[in-house]
Amino acid sequence: MNWQIELLDLALKFTWKISRNASDMKTNLLVTVGDERTQGRGEAAPNIRYGETPELLQQQFNSLQKNGLANVETVEELQHLTQQEKTLPALRFALESALVHYLARKENKTVAQYLGVPAVASTPTAFTFPIMDPGKIADFAKEHQLQRFQYLKVKVNQESGLDMMGEVYKATSQPLMVDANEAWQDPDALIRFMEGLKKWPILMIEQPMPAGLDEEYLYLKKHSPYDLFADESVTDHADWDLLKQQFHGVNMKLMKAGGYLNGLSILQKTRSLGLKTMIGCMVETSMGIWSAIQLSHGVDFLDLDGMLVVKDEPFKYVKEQDGLLLPVTQP
């Protein structure tokens, strides 16, 4: 089996600012596996929040190559090798998805058939407002024609959160998700922020405080007027007994889960605890988004706009039409 990796430099359509950082460019990685006849491809979107950089993932790939990656023929063998090598989740996902795409092709199956999940022909996605000057919101909504999406997501921080939400509400008519990316430390300050949201159509609030603030989340869940969704608190594993007492739902991202199989497992565990489900993404091309769509049947919320942030998206594996995502062709 021949494995290759290459860097993908992606210019963004606008500054992608969240509570902890901002960027105008993103460097992802593309993994290809195959033989003379058949290939599969997968994407890694490294996230510095989890200690991932393009350079480190490249180094880890080189180390896997030295330690027997070429001999891997099954997903189980790949998982064994990446566990042994302590491979970071985004690279694990690129490797596993590339291999699954290759194996499905070899067996003349769709990826959905290979994974044993229902096929998805189209699915809605949220579109996200990054943090910006509240005065620019109305123009941003017009420029990107955001009326076509069923729901919208707003990145917020403590400084301008309520001002941004007010301007988004004036410029749009859809239900809103609020994503704070761990911006608050004090649950009482956060509850005051939530009180200020009550005049607007809020669907949920995503990871408003840092992962690891266990007591604070237990307290917050008792007092929150809105559903709380875990993002950074769930990576490729979670403390599920604690999590169900802290949150109402979980945002599973394949780049954090480290593979299709663990992503499915996280969604199944979330449902088994009676929690709501969501699939999110990093800034990714349509390759990564295509993969997320494969697992989206029956999921409560989808935030898969990562490819819509990329200028001149290179692959066109997914088409967006009227706020719906339609998978076109398999990576």
Known binding-site positions for Mg(2+): 179, 206, 231
Question: What is the C-alpha separation between 65 and 286, in angstroms, rounded?
Answer: 26
From the list 26, 153, 155, 244, the catalytic residue is 155
Question: What is the C-alpha separation between 125 and 168, in angstroms, rounded?
Answer: 17
The total number of residues written for the chain in this structure: 331
CA-wise closest residue to 305 among 123, 139, 183, 168: 123
From the list 26, 153, 244, 253, the catalytic residue is 253
DSSP H helical segments within 120-213, as ranges?
A: 137-143, 161-171, 187-196
Distance, C-alpha 218 to centroid of its chain = 25
Q: How do beta strands 123-124 and 39-44 pair? A: unpaired
Binding-site residues sit at 179, 206, 231
Answer yes or no: 253 catalytic. yes
DSSP H helical segments within the chain, as ranges?
A: 54-66, 75-84, 89-106, 111-115, 137-143, 161-171, 187-196, 214-223, 240-246, 254-257, 260-272, 286-294
HSE, CB side, 13 Å, CA atoms: give it for residue 92.
Answer: 29
> How many angstroms separate the Cα of 250 from the Cα of each of 20, 136, 206, 253, 254?
21, 31, 9, 10, 13
CA-wise closest residue to 259 among 75, 29, 59: 75
Answer yes or no: 155 catalytic. yes
Question: What is the C-alpha separation between 86 and 84, in angstroms, rounded?
Answer: 6
Active site (catalytic) residues: 155, 253
